[in-house]
Structure 1
Amino acid sequence: MKPRVRNAALSSYVEVSQSLGIDPLSLMKHVGLDPVGLAVQDRWISGVAVVQLLELSAAASHHEDFGLLLAERRRFSNLGRISLVIREEPDVRSVLELLIRHEYMYNEMLRSRLSEAHGLATLKLCLDLGEATAAGQAAELAVGAFHQVLRNFLGTRWQPVAVCFTHGAPADTRTHRRIFGPVVEFDREFNGIVFYASDLDAPNLMSDPLLRTYARQYFESIAISRDTTELDRVRELIEVLLPTGRCSIEQVAGSLGVDRRTVHRHLSASGETFSSLLNATRTQLAEQLVANPRRSLTEISRLLGFSASSAFSRWFSERFGCSPREWRLRRTRQQPFTEG
């Protein structure tokens, strides 16, 4: 399947588009992206569609700095769960190595590499789209986002030795020079950032050594394998889409950048259907959620994608042989019961 990125890649897209006088919703629909689902940061969407959207937005707004304007608004949280870990890493080197090693957790298109030579460190970034597509805006967004990460750790006055792009210079480079300084270069052989190798050993002043072990343990518990199967990808999307009330095979297919028949084919090869996987995922989540007395059954119903609590209760009774309230009571009393 085609590479995906998290919805967080388009964080602030609507705001930036509107500030430049273009209609973000119509442009998203044009490339097959769902504007309603944009608020779910952890939802995966087609990487190629995002790249196309950025190019269209830059053209429509007449702003060749569109990708950079998005990058400028980047925050740690846009990286997802990995952001909780990098905040506790001891130095910049550890931060970058973690982001590079686990880049597939937030962007399946990204291919990044860090090298050192002659006192300089070079962070090279490329986008593997699987097809020939103009991607200058996406490249600037990726480089700008990493630049923001480095400034967060090295200070707002930090400046790299060079910021490089493979594409030609835009007609107006003011935004590029405002963000990167006078060191931005175009028509280079790679996209990326060159800086002094000594910066890699700069300590992370935000880090709490007492929290570092806990952060690493947490990350190891949620880190996904680079060898994630198609079945795993569909299951992950179901978990993300259920609380939105829009969990359908069409939505899953759109997030994967394929049609519904392709999803059916992959699931069939694993002996599954979309309905069976949806029910299995719901069942697993229901056990976890209903067992937590701090969550109301109404809230759980919503998190599992039911439009009404009554529909959730009927489904639960069919799966477990009793109502969710009775199941919770039995669990609290630690009395065994038989699932239906």
Structure 2
Amino acid sequence: MDEHEYFFGLEGPLDAIPASGQMRAANLTGFSDYARIRGSDAHRILERHGLEPRTLVDPDSHIGCQQVVDVFEYCSTLFDDPLFGLRLAHLQDPDVFGCVTALCRAAPDLRSAVGCLVDYIPIVHSPEADLELVEGLDTAELRWNVRTDMGVNDQANYQALMLMLKLLRTVGGNSFKPAYVHLAVDARPRDVPEIEGLVACHVLNRAERNAIGFPVQALDQPIASANRLIFRLLGGYLARVKLVNRANIVERTASYVRGALPAGTCSIERCAEKLGLSVRTLQARLAVHDISFSDLVEAQRENLARIYLKQTRMPLDEVAERLGYGEQTSFGRAFKRWTGTTPRKFRAVGGSSNG
């Protein structure tokens, strides 16, 4: 049997895979307990943000990433807890990541385990996750981010930090010790010592990227729970899932637009280049779905505009700039076309509109 062949065959995944903009509901594990301890009702909080309460008992169901981000930021304010994401993750374990955690535990060494985390979290847990392992001479970094702009998502970053630290410590054993943590969040200076106490290492606040740094030699550390059979079978399954789980051209283009608009780099030429297509081919493939690149740009502009106005105090001219408008009046006309109201009125009434 060839090294890359397995005795089973797959025409598709054994379970549904999260679509663009979704994640597994396992991210809410322990949320009911936290809310109850704080004297609140988890069901009401979820319903307020358009989430079904049943997701609390169905970790393998799929929910909107933006809704989870909104819930976490809302809870941080509701419970007056600027470190809500860290405390929620304290009630959770690495199994939030599902079968990826099982694969990491079965890996032969830490390098293989981290490689599995990087490769398969975007497939199994959420396609919005963007992870990377960077190896230096003395230090390695596990970096993470989200592929799209979801507004303020500090609490989700806190949760991701604690869960990934727990996983690294689970597979790395007592010998794994982080050297530092970089966080792309706007934590209050007085909260940093508490964060450092929870993660047991130095924390750099307001960093350019999220990262956990650790000695590079730790990557060669054997894993006590290594299991060659599980690693090969489960790894083979997930490798096949990764191959068949190709997002359609509309989802891939929309994902590009969400990320490129705030960066000011959104154009059909750059999108085509990123997707490895010619502009003409990209246009033709979108046309099959009865949609154009400009339609997707318009839809993502509206979505991001609502997020910026609802979740931030960003000045209107900055919102317009992030969405690619040369002037605030152009943005205002577009926003009224989408929602029937002005950006200023939309923000004043807390983000409700006729749209």
Bin for the TM-score computed over the shorter chain? 0.5 to 0.7
Deviations 1:60-84 (A, max 9, x none): 1111111011222332432122233
Using the TM superposition, give the Cα deviation of residue 224 of structure 1 relative to its aligned residue in structure 2, in angstroms. Answer: 6.3
Show the counterpart of 1:46.
Answer: 64
TM-score by length of 1: 0.62
Q: Which of these residues, 164, 176, 180, is aligned with residue 146 of structure 1? A: 164
Q: Which of these residues, 114, 121, 127, is aligned with residue 133 of structure 2? A: 114
**1:85 aligned counterpart, secondary structure:** helix
Contact kept in structure 2, 1:2 and 1:47, CA below 8 Å: no
Tell me which structure has the larger Cα radius of gyration.
1
Aligned-pair RMSD on alpha carbons? 2.7
Paired residues for 1:220-235 under 5 Å:
220=239, 225-229=244-248
Contact kept in structure 2, 1:125 and 1:191, CA below 8 Å: yes
Distance 1:210 1:109, change over 3 A: closer
2:13 aligned with 1:4, yes or no?
no
Contact kept in structure 1, 2:181 and 2:204, CA below 8 Å: yes
Contact kept in structure 1, 2:104 and 2:171, CA below 8 Å: no
Contact kept in structure 1, 2:154 and 2:186, CA below 8 Å: no
What is the alpha-carbon distance in structure 2 between the residues aligned to residue 42 and residue 175 of structure 1?
Answer: 32
Show the counterpart of 1:196.
Answer: 215
Deviations 1:84-103 (A, max 9, x none): 32221111111111111122
Show the counterpart of 2:147.
Answer: 128
Instruction: Look up the equivalent residue of 1:68 and give its one-letter code.
Output: L
Show the counterpart of 1:73.
Answer: 91
Show the counterpart of 1:185.
Answer: 204
Distance 1:210 1:111, change over 3 A: closer
Instruction: Look up the equivalent residue of 2:84 and give its one-letter code.
Output: F
Instruction: Look up the equivalent residue of 1:106 and give its one-letter code.
Output: H
Using the TM superposition, give the Cα deviation of residue 219 of structure 1 relative to its aligned residue in structure 2, in angstroms. Answer: 3.7
Q: Which runs of 5+ in 2 are unaligned?
A: 1-18, 252-285, 291-355
What is the alpha-carbon distance in structure 2 between the residues aligned to residue 152 and residue 222 of structure 1?
Answer: 25
Using the TM superposition, give the Cα deviation of residue 231 of structure 1 relative to its aligned residue in structure 2, in angstroms. Answer: 12
What is the alpha-carbon distance in structure 1 between the residues aligned to residue 87 and residue 98 of structure 2?
Answer: 20
What is the alpha-carbon distance in structure 2 between the residues aligned to residue 112 and residue 211 of structure 1?
Answer: 23
Show the counterpart of 2:111.
Answer: 93
Distance 1:127 1:163, change over 3 A: same
Show the counterpart of 1:27.
Answer: 45
What is the alpha-carbon distance in structure 2 between the residues aligned to residue 30 and residue 39 of structure 1?
Answer: 18
Bigger relative CO (Cα 8 Å, ≥ 6 apart): 1
Deviations 1:109-142 (A, max 9, x none): 21111111131101111123344x1000011111
Instruction: Look up the equivalent residue of 2:206 and give its one-letter code.
Output: D
Show the counterpart of 1:161.
Answer: 179
Q: Which runs of 5+ in 1 are unaligned?
A: 233-265, 271-340
**2:211 aligned counterpart, secondary structure:** strand
Contact kept in structure 2, 1:169 and 1:187, CA below 8 Å: yes
2:239 aligned with 1:215, yes or no?
no
Contact kept in structure 1, 2:120 and 2:238, CA below 8 Å: no
Using the TM superposition, give the Cα deviation of residue 153 of structure 1 relative to its aligned residue in structure 2, in angstroms. Answer: 1.6
Number of aligned pairs? 235
TM-score by length of 2: 0.60
Distance 1:169 1:217, change over 3 A: closer
